[in-house]
Amino acid sequence: MERRHFLATGSVLAVEGGLSPFAAGGDRAAAADRADAGGGLPPRAEIVAVLRRVADHWIGAHTDPGDNKWARATFFSGLLALHRLTGEPRYAAYARGWAEKHSYGLNDGVTTRHADNQCAGQAYLDLYGLDRAPDEAKIAALDASVRAMVDSVAVKHDDWWWDDALHMAMPPFARLGAVRGDAAYAEAMHTFYLHTRNAEGGPGLFDGASGLWYRDKRFLPGGIVSPDGKPVLWSRGNGWVAGAHTKVLAVLPADHRHVPAYRAALTTELRALRRIQRPDGFWNVNLADPAHLPGPETSGTVFFLHATAYALRTELVPARLFRPVAARAWHALVTHAVHPDGFLGHVQPEGDRPESGQPVGPDSTADFGVGGFLLAGTELAALVG
C-alpha cells in the first residue's frame, strides 16, 4: 500500500495498488511524441482532461474544503480558473461551500494587514464575479482589510517584506480597484510593491544581476547561502512573484501607468528563467545553485508555466523562444508529477526556504501546488485556443 501525504492538511490518503508516479499512459506517450517532434504544445482538449483529473482527485480526497489561509486559497484560485474554462458547476459549488463555511471572511479578521490572510479574497472576488447580481457581502471583509491599507499607505507601506506577499495581496488590491472604479487601490498597491522590490534605505528583494528575486532579506548578499556558497534564490518564491505580475497584468487596463513596469519585471524574470530551465522541463529548488537540493519540484514550475503561457498569449515574449519553455514544463508535469488518478506529486510543502520539507518526491503534494497547476493549465489552454 502506498502512503500519500497531503502536506497542507497533515491528513493521509491511502491508495491501493502501488500506482506509478507518472501520468496516464496516453498522456505520457502523447507528450513524449510532441517533445520528440520539437516541443509542440498539446491540444486544448488534452490539457483540459488532465486539469479535470487533477482537480477531481483533490476534491474527492477532501470532502472538507479546508481553512481560509493562503495555501487553500491558492487552490481555490486555480479551481475557479478551471471553472471559468470549463463551466463545470461542481467546481463553483465546491468553492462556494468553502467560502460560505468561512462566511467570506479573512483569517485574523478584517483588521489584518498580512498578505497571506488576504489571499482568500482572490477566490471571493471570483465568486462575486459569477453572480448575476453581485453580492457585496462576499467581498466586504476583504475590502475592509485592503481599504484600511490603502488609506494609510502614506505612513505605512512596509507590510510586504517577503516575496510571497506579492502573489497573495497584489491581485486583491488590483481587482478591488477595478470593481470600485477607484485608482487609489492600484496606486497604493504600487507603493507597497516598490518597497518590496527596492526598499528605502537598502536593497530590495529584486536581484538585478540575475533578474530574479530573493525570498526575504535573510537571503540578500552577505546572508544565507547554499552549502557551496552560492546565492539562494528560491524557486517557489520566484513563482509567487511571477504569479503576482501575471494576475495583476490580467486586471489592469493596458494603458495604466504602472503596466509598463509590471510587464518589464515579468519579462525580465521569464528571460532569466528560460536560461536556467532544467533539460527535463522543471526548475531547480534553488535557481542559483543546481547542486543545492537537486531534483524535480512542481510548485515553482507550475507558476513559471502559468506566467510563461500568459506572456506568450499576450505577446509579451517571442513565441520562438518561449513556446518551447512552456512545452517542456507541461511535458515535465504531466509525465513526472501527475499520477494516473490525478494526484499531483513533487510539490515542496509549506516553508520559507529551499530546505523546507525535503526531500520532495513523487508522493508529496499540497493544495497550493494543485492550485498553481490548475492556473498554469488554464492559461495554457487559453494560449492554444
Number of H helices, E strands in the chain: 14, 5
What's the chain's Rg over C-alpha atoms?
A: 20
Average pLDDT over residues 167-193: 98
Average pLDDT over residues 96-116: 98
Integer Cα distance of 104 and 149 in angstroms: 19
Minimum mean pLDDT range among 25-34, 119-128, 221-230, 294-303: 25-34
Which pLDDT score is estimated for 200? Answer: 84
What is the sign, positive or negative, of the torsion defined by CA atoms of 360, 363, 369, 374? positive
Which pLDDT score is estimated for 201? Answer: 77
- Tell me the per-residue pLDDT of 238-271, one tens digit each, with 9 for 90 and over: 999 999 999 999 999 999 999 999 999 999 999 9
Integer Cα distance of 87 and 114 in angstroms: 32
Integer Cα distance of 309 and 77 in angstroms: 17
Integer Cα distance of 100 and 95 in angstroms: 9
Confidence of residue 27 (pLDDT cuts 50, 70, 90): low
Average pLDDT over residues 134-157: 98
Which pLDDT score is estimated for 3? Answer: 35
Average pLDDT over residues 7-17: 31
Confidence of residue 295 (pLDDT cuts 50, 70, 90): confident
Average pLDDT score, the chain: 91
Which pLDDT score is estimated for 6? Answer: 40
pTM: 0.91
Residue 33 has pLDDT above 60, yes or no: no
Residue 285 has pLDDT above 60, yes or no: yes
The answer to whether residues 335 and 34 touch, using CB atoms and an 8 Å cutoff, is no
Residue 16 has pLDDT above 70, yes or no: no
Domains of the chain: 2-384 (1.50.10.10)
- Helix (H) or strand (E) holding 84, with range, is helix 70-86
In DSSP notation, 98-150 reads HHHHTTT--TT-TT---HHHHTHHHHHHHHHHH-SS--GGGTHHHHHHHHHHH
Integer Cα distance of 346 and 117 in angstroms: 26
Which pLDDT score is estimated for 31? Answer: 52
Which pLDDT score is estimated for 30? Answer: 53
Burial of 81 (0-12, 13-18, 19+ CB in 10 A): buried
Residue for grid cell 483533490: 58
Which pLDDT score is estimated for 11? Answer: 30
Which pLDDT score is estimated for 337? Answer: 98
Average pLDDT over residues 135-163: 98
Integer Cα distance of 189 and 121 in angstroms: 15
CA 269 to chain CA mean position, Å: 15
Which pLDDT score is estimated for 29? Answer: 47
Integer Cα distance of 92 and 200 in angstroms: 42
* Highest mean pLDDT pick, 35-39, 301-305, 359-363: 301-305
Integer Cα distance of 340 and 334 in angstroms: 9
Residue 12 has pLDDT above 90, yes or no: no
* DSSP structural state of residue 344: B
- Tell me the per-residue pLDDT of 65-104, one tens digit each, with 9 for 90 and over: 999 999 999 999 999 999 999 999 999 999 999 999 999 9
Residue 381 has pLDDT above 80, yes or no: yes
Confidence of residue 39 (pLDDT cuts 50, 70, 90): low
Which pLDDT score is estimated for 8? Answer: 38
Residue for grid cell 474554462: 85
